[in-house]
Amino acid sequence: MRVLIQRVSQAEVTVEGRSTGRIGTGLLVLVCAMGGDDRATAERLAGRVARLRIFRDDQGRMNRSVQDIGGAALVVSQFTLAADTRTGNRPGFSTAAPPDEGERLYLAFAEALRAQGLPVETGEFGADMKVSLVNDGPVTIWMDSADRS
């Protein structure tokens, strides 16, 4: 599973002009389930995201998690994080989980964040979404569950 995390002061996702999720301070998390991922992968990665210390403490250091600051998460499916750009000019996406599995794992990831005590809003899986955000910092972090030893 791959996630791209952005520390935000606000973020929103809309589908056909209607808002499906909106948060203030917290994390915008773009999520891609990869072939071979399972629910345990989603839960483990959600725990890492919830505990990721990228918010400022009283000394201005990135030392607090979204849990610590009472923030929220906006979780948006993003299969293009599986893009293979090693050859040619058109990315391939064959390493992404099939759509049914991808949706199940995306929802499991959002559920696992909720289980960590975070308010969670979501996009709409498979929809043409418009995402707006104010990236705070900017801070953008990439995580891939395959990188974990």
Two tokens at 12? 């929103």
* Count of other CB atoms within 10 angstroms of residue 128: 7
For the chain, what is the mean pLDDT?
Answer: 96
What CATH number does domain 2-143 carry, 3.50.80.10, 3.40.50.1100, 1.10.287.3510, 3.40.50.300?
3.50.80.10
Q: What is the pLDDT of residues 45-98, one digit of tens each?
A: 999 999 999 999 999 999 999 999 999 999 999 999 999 999 999 999 999 999
Asked if pLDDT for residue 18 goes beyond 50, the answer is yes
Closest by CA to 99, choosing from 121, 66, 125, 120, is 125
Which pTM value belongs to this model? Answer: 0.95
Closest by CA to 36, choosing from 82, 84, 96, is 96
Catalogue the active-site residues.
Answer: 78-80
